[in-house]
Structure 1
Amino acid sequence: RTMPSGSLEQITFRLAVLHDLVRRQGKACRSTLVNPPSALEIAIDKFATLARARTLGVPAPATQVVQSRAAAMEAFDELGGDVVVKPIFGGEGRGVMRVRDAELAWTTFSTLTQMNAVCYVQQFVPPGGVDLRVLVIGEHAHAIRRSSESDFRTNVRGGGRSELVPMQSTWEQSARRVCEDFGLKFASVDWLETESGELQLMEVNGIPGWKGAQRVVQESIADQILEVLVNER
């Protein structure tokens, strides 16, 4: 089940419900959680994700997270005047935009600060329009390259398409290292593919959608998820 978008109060409440289920597991509660709420709290927060990944030595795009328009404009300049602005909470490409113009940056950061939002400013990593998703499901893992010819975003909203590619051991090792540190048993670890072939961590999804992946993965992803669930009971 997904964690739908909502206000900070709504998301905090939903996570509190999950924390309560964890406390009651093994008692009268029949619910089973695959990914604990403590792991989800990190994964749904893009700043927390990159901060945690940094302690693991996992490469990620240069990023600054600030709380004022002035600081955001400084970040825009320091990151080369070509940045991706994202909401800290959110998925499926909602609210993500590439900013290459100083006037547009000023307007964007003004709007965000007026909304009492933080400014998540990340250096654009060329070439754009391509990334690698490593879908980890317990003992299983799938490598899916996503690409778009019309947008730097690769998800469905960006017109992206998916292709199953042979898993490289380094990809799986890096993804599992992140998942194990976060405490995730079912997750997608999304990497930007740079022009040099290096992978940089973009985000971690602790409640990943997998319908798009199932179109290119021959094995039943639903069965693999159930396998993880049964092992947790």
Structure 2
Amino acid sequence: MHLKIVTNPLPRIAIFTDDPGWHGKQLCRAFAARSCRADYVSLTACRLQVGDELPVVIPGFEQELPDAVFVRGVPGGSLEEVVFYLDVLHALKMLGVPVYNDGRAIERSVDKAMTSFLLQRAGISTPKTWVLREREQALAVVERELALGHYVISKPLFGSQGEGIRRLEKSTDLLWLTGSHGIYYLQRFIECDGDGYSDKRIFVINGKAVSGMRRRGTSWLNNVARGASCEAIELTEEVAELAVRAVAALRMDYAGVDIIRERDGRPTVIEVNSVPAWKGLQGACGVDIAGLLVDDLLQRHMYSIKAVA
């Protein structure tokens, strides 16, 4: 366990992000309201120095490690860079610093293939998915699905906010089928019930669905970043339980779970995000998401560890 002599009267929190923005400000205010000081840090500026007294060096925390870390973003990059960023998160946790969400949770969710696999293994309804390397095999999958009357979604294995996603609807669309760094991630497109395009975003913290909204897209993409509108919904037991089960399957402290109700009435999980945005959700529902997240981190991870120590 990481032990140190506390010289600062206020617990210090590192918020890992490259773009603090609205969410970073919300978190800083929430920490300050609970007598904690939070500072933004980019994972790109951290380093490991194995053999030294302080094996993880974080700008602004050169003398002692933070009391806790809130992961608001993990930068993209080469495989080596991403592995290094995760190494920093893993090392901090092994040193006794609470990391929220931790590196393992980030790994499981940022990799869409593993997310799909774990959801299916847990018996959770999720779209039929293919992850493969050979283009000819990917083309054969899409051709077969189109012949059966299904559209196919092509996504980058790593990505968010709808970037790089295509819907393949007809044979001529096969010309646009490309892999992401040599890997094809394909999913059967799910037609939602009702008119237009919509899904539900459910926010789960510590095994409890705390808020939910319906997102209505101007196209089949329902991302708020792509112009989707948000409206509060009453959480049904069925949807809340499904979201909680999905987060438990990926073993996360908190997550945003995207759920579509299919034409046959079945709710299906299409994505689980370990670094979810909540501006649209908070605007629609009026729930202080940042406050709930900070309370969970402090009460369940930080103060409980200090009490034991």
Q: How high is the TM-score relative to the length of structure 1?
A: 0.89
Q: Identify the residue that residue 68 of structure 1 maps to in structure 2.
A: 134
Change (3 A) 1:196 1:140: closer
Task: Spell out, residue by residue over 1:58-96, the C-alpha distance to the aligned partner (whole angstroms, 9 max, x if none).
Answer: 111111111111101111022236211101100000001
For each residue in 1:13-64, what CA deviation from the matched residue of structure 2 results, as whole angstroms up to 9, or x when unmatched?
A: 1111100001101xxxxx4312221111111111100101111111111111
**Which residues in structure 2 correspond to 1:26-105 (within 5 Å)?**
31-80=97-146, 82-105=151-174
Kindly report the root-mean-square deviation, in angstroms, between the aligned alpha carbons of the 2 structures. 1.7
Of 182, 186, 200, 1:117 maps to 182
1:23 maps to which of 74, 91, 94 = 94
Q: CA deviation at 1:170?
A: 1.6
* Secondary structure, counterpart of 2:200 in structure 1: strand
Equivalent residue in structure 2 for 1:192, among 251, 260, 264:
260
**Cα pair 2:257 2:272 within 8 Å, conserved:** yes
Distance 1:132 1:140, change over 3 A: closer
Deviation larger for 150-159 or 11-20? 150-159
For residues 128-147 of structure 1, the aligned pairs below 5 Å read 129-138=197-206, 139=208, 141-147=210-216
Which structure is richer in relative contact order (CA contacts within 8 A, separation 6 or more)? 1
Give the structure 2 partner of residue 28 of structure 1: none
Deviation at 1:102, TM superposition (A): 2.0
| Paired position in structure 2 for 1:168 | 236
Unaligned 5+ segments in structure 2 are: 1-71, 303-309
Q: Show structure 1 runs of 4+ deviating over 6 A.
A: none
Query: 1:140 offset after TM fit, Å?
Result: 5.1
What letter matches 1:220 in structure 2? D
Separation of aligned partners in 1, 2:270 and 2:104:
20
Higher Cα radius of gyration: 2
What whole-Å deviation, never above 9, does each CA across 1:90-139 have from its counterpart, x for those lacking one?
00000011111323223423xx2xx6421111111114721111101234
Unaligned runs of 5+ in 1: 26-30
Letter in 1 for 2:124: V
Residue 222 of structure 1 is matched in structure 2 by 290
Bigger CA drift: 70-79 or 85-94?
70-79
Give the match's secondary structure for 1:79: helix
Aligned length: 223
Structure 1 vs Structure 2: percent identity of aligned residues? 28
How far does residue 3 in structure 1 lie from its aligned partner after superposition?
2.0
User: For residues 116 and 182 of structure 1, do their structure 2 counterparts lie closer, same or farther at Cα, with a shift above 3 Å needed?
Assistant: closer
SS state of the match for residue 209, structure 1?
Answer: coil
Read off the aligned partner of 2:172 and give its amino acid letter. Answer: E
AA in 2 matched with 1:119: Y
